[in-house]
Amino acid sequence: MKHFVLLLGMLFSLTVFSQKTTFEEMLNRSLEEKIKVDLNNPQKGWKQDKKIRQLKGLKSTNVVISGDNTAESEVHAAINPNDSNQIVVSPIAHSGMAGLNCPVYYSNDFGANWNNSSFTNMPSLPGNMSVGGGDPVFVYDDGNRVYFSWIDLSIKNMNLDNAYWGMYWAYSDDNGQTWNYDTTQVIEESQGSLNNIAAFNGPLTDKQWMAADINPSSPHYNDIYISYVEIDIQSQAYRVTVARKPSDSTHFDTTKAYLTDTSFAIVQFGSISVGQSGRVHVSFFGSRDGSNYGIYHCYSDDGAKNFTAPLKVSDIQIPQFSANQLNVSVEGISDDRLYPSVYNASSSNSNHVYITWTANGLMQKDSDGLDIYFSRSTDGGNTFEAPVIINDDTNKTIHQYYSAINVSPHGRVDISWYDRRADDSLNINTHYYINSSYDNGQTFGQNTRITGMATDFSTVGNLNNEFGVGEYNAVLSTNDYIIPVWADGRKNSGDLDIYAAFVNKNSLSVERLTSMNKDFTITQLFPNPASEMITCRLSAKKNQVINIAVLDMSGKKLLEKNDVRMAPGENELSLKINHLSSGIYFLKFYNENGLETRKLIIR
Q: Does the structure show a pLDDT above 50 at 300?
A: yes
- The CA R_g of the chain, rounded to the nearest whole Å, is 23
Q: Any idea what the Cα angle at residue 196 is, between residues 193 and 201, rounded to 5°?
A: 55
Strands 569-576 and 557-566: unpaired
What whole-number distance in Å separates Cα of residue 19 and Cα of residue 493?
A: 37
pLDDT at 306: 97
What whole-number distance in Å separates Cα of residue 458 and Cα of residue 332?
A: 5
Closest CA to 47 of 33, 29, 35, 31: 35
Closest CA to 457 of 485, 420, 424: 420
Q: Does the structure show a pLDDT above 60 at 46?
A: no
Mind listing the pLDDT tens digit for each residue in 82-107? 999 999 999 998 765 556 789 999 99
Q: Does the structure show a pLDDT above 60 at 7?
A: no
What whole-number distance in Å separates Cα of residue 196 and Cα of residue 435?
A: 46
Closest CA to 468 of 486, 450, 441, 449: 486
Amino acid at the residue 424: D
Q: Where are the extended beta strands (E) located within 505-593?
A: 510-515, 520-526, 533-540, 544-551, 557-566, 569-576, 583-591
How does DSSP classify residue 46?
A: B
pLDDT at 64: 20
More confident residue, 37 or 166: 166
Our CA dihedral for 350, 472, 238, 37, rounded to 10 degrees, sits at -160
Q: Does the structure show a pLDDT above 60 at 186?
A: yes
What whole-number distance in Å separates Cα of residue 453 and Cα of residue 188?
A: 41
pLDDT at 59: 24
- The most confident of the ranges 298-302, 344-348, 579-583 is 298-302
Our CA dihedral for 28, 34, 38, 43, rounded to 10 degrees, sits at -160
Sign of the four-CA dihedral 523, 527, 530, 533:
negative
Mind listing the pLDDT tens digit for each residue in 192-214? 999 888 889 999 999 999 999 99
Confidence at 234, pLDDT banded by 50, 70, 90 = confident
How does DSSP classify residue 4?
A: H
Mind listing the pLDDT tens digit for each residue in 323-337? 889 999 999 998 888
What whole-number distance in Å separates Cα of residue 135 and Cα of residue 188?
A: 14
Confidence at 43, pLDDT banded by 50, 70, 90 = low
Mean pLDDT of 279-299: 96
Confidence at 47, pLDDT banded by 50, 70, 90 = low
Mark out the alpha helices in 12-138 (DSSP H runs): 23-34
Confidence at 460, pLDDT banded by 50, 70, 90 = very high
Terminal-to-terminal C-alpha distance of the chain? 63
> Which of 138-152, 293-307, 375-389, 484-498 is predicted least confidently?
484-498
User: How large is the greatest C-alpha to C-alpha distance in the chain, in angstroms?
Assistant: 73
> Which of 99-103, 231-235, 297-301, 440-444 is predicted least confidently?
99-103
Closest CA to 263 of 312, 316, 320: 312
> To the nearest whole number, what is the mean pLDDT of the chain?
87
What whole-number distance in Å separates Cα of residue 391 and Cα of residue 359?
A: 12
Residue ranges per structural domain of the chain: 1-202, 521-602
Count other Cβ atoms within 10 Å, centred on residue 22.
Answer: 17
Contact 378, 352 (CB under 8 A): yes
Q: Does the structure show a pLDDT above 60 at 57?
A: no
Mind listing the pLDDT tens digit for each residue in 388-405? 999 999 899 999 999 999
Amino acid at the residue 354: Y
pLDDT at 33: 80
pLDDT at 61: 22
Whole-angstrom CA distances from 137 to 341, 417, 431, 542 are 15, 18, 24, 31
**CATH assignment of 521-602, given 3.90.1510.10, 2.60.40.1930, 3.90.550.10, 3.40.1410.10?**
2.60.40.1930
Secondary structure tally for the chain: helices H, strands E: 2, 37
Q: Record the pTM.
A: 0.88
pLDDT at 337: 86
DSSP string, 219-230: TTTT-EEEEEEE
Mind listing the pLDDT tens digit for each residue in 405-438? 999 999 999 999 999 999 978 889 999 999 999 9
Q: Does the structure show a pLDDT above 60 at 68?
A: no
Q: Any idea what the Cα angle at residue 141 is, between residues 136 and 143, rounded to 5°?
A: 135
Mind listing the pLDDT tens digit for each residue in 351-365? 999 999 999 999 999
Confidence at 307, pLDDT banded by 50, 70, 90 = very high
How does DSSP classify residue 322?
A: S
What whole-number distance in Å separates Cα of residue 292 and Cα of residue 321?
A: 9
Mind listing the pLDDT tens digit for each residue in 145-164? 999 999 999 999 889 999 99
Q: Where are the extended beta strands (E) located within 378-492?
A: 388-389, 400-407, 413-419, 429-437, 448-449, 455-456, 474-477, 481-488
Backbone angles phi, psi at 464, to 5 degrees: -135, 35
User: ω before 387 within 30° of 0 (cis)?
Assistant: no
Mind listing the pLDDT tens digit for each residue in 523-564? 889 899 999 999 999 988 889 999 999 988 777 889 999 989
Strands 583-591 and 544-551: antiparallel
pLDDT at 45: 59
